[in-house]
Amino acid sequence: MSGLPLITDSWFYAVAVPAVLLMGLGKSGFLMGFGSLATPLMALALPVPQAAAIMLPLLLVMDATGIGALWKERDREMLKLMLPAGLLGTVIGTLLFGVFTSKAVAGVVGAITLLFLAQRLLFPPRRDAAPPGRAAGFVLTTLGGFTSFVAHAGGPPIQAYVLPLKMNPLRLTATLAVLMGAINLSKIVPYAWLGLLDARNLATSLVLVPLAPLGVWAGVWATRRIDSTWFYRIAYGGMFFTGVKLLWDGLR
């Protein structure tokens, strides 16, 4: 690979390797709330659009790995609502690319995430409370598609809808794997059109590809074995740390 126009900065790889593994673990459902930290972590060494471009091929490999392992567990009815909404979000992201900076998007997503968690903590729903409605699901998933397009940070808005549903962890993970796989696949043409998938970024992605399935495999193994109570505790904890990090990135 010596002839490829790679990124050679050692600091980039010092943050990129854990970022890719973290994203894989998030994709698997295990450490779900932490996956959206991957692009901000990689952005410590690169501009956010370039970090997002390098991450996209890796996400596609992770999506294929997760879908292959969990396809039969997906919730078809939920996907009928969420797939159109998520794809609408990527269309909006394409049309508004450059209008909203990645910094502004990070700040808004971080604030929404922390407000959602504060609401859940300060005003916890009753046990017999109705789950979030389909309209809320459509809006939040559309927002997730948009923020996923800009910075691969679609997790927090979508999780704000799905986590209160208290689904079986494996079924939830499988459903999100299919949803995010479709969203990420829809980004290829817009990213290429916007000039983000250049030879240097693609070559760097190729070097990191062997890491992409590792976190997914490890996380799927853990998700099949973890108690649902701890699954949701970890997910909410991940949302908190992600919200703080994204808000910090937006304000600094």
The mean pLDDT of the chain is 84
pLDDT of amino acid 129:
65
At 60, is the pLDDT very low, low, confident or very high (cuts 50, 70, 90)?
very high
**Cα–Cα separations (whole angstroms), residue 195 to 50, 107, 205:** 10, 25, 15
What does the DSSP 8-state code read for residue 97? B
Would you kindly state where each structural domain of the chain is located, as residue ranges? 10-251
The two most distant CA atoms of the chain are separated, in Å, by 62
Q: Which of 219, 220, 201, 243 is nearest to 58 (CA)?
A: 201
In angstroms, how far is CA 192 from the centroid of its own chain? 20
Q: If you compute the radius of gyration of the chain from its CA atoms, what whole number of angstroms results?
A: 17
Taking residues 43-55, report their average pLDDT: 84
Query: Which two tokens mark 241?
Result: 């740390």
**Cα–Cα separations (whole angstroms), residue 7 to 14, 100, 232:** 12, 27, 37
In angstroms, how far is CA 33 from the centroid of its own chain? 9
Q: Give the contacts of 114 (CB within 8 A, at least 6 positions apart).
A: 240, 243, 244, 247
Tens of pLDDT, residue by residue over 87-100, are 999 999 999 877 77
Taking residues 218-244, report their average pLDDT: 82
pLDDT of amino acid 89:
94
pLDDT of amino acid 235:
80
Query: Which two tokens mark 214?
Result: 């590792």
151 touches 39 (CB < 8 A): yes
pLDDT tops 90 at residue 175: yes
31 touches 11 (CB < 8 A): no
Q: Which of 73, 245, 80, 223 is nearest to 156 (CA)?
A: 245
Point out the least confidently predicted range of 84-88, 94-98, 139-143. Answer: 94-98
Q: Which residue did the predictor score with more confidence, 119 or 150?
A: 150
Tokens 């962890």 sit on residue: 169
Query: Which two tokens mark 87?
Result: 């794809």
Taking residues 180-192, report their average pLDDT: 92
d(CA 113, CA 140): 11
Strand, coil or helix: 26: helix
pLDDT of amino acid 100:
74
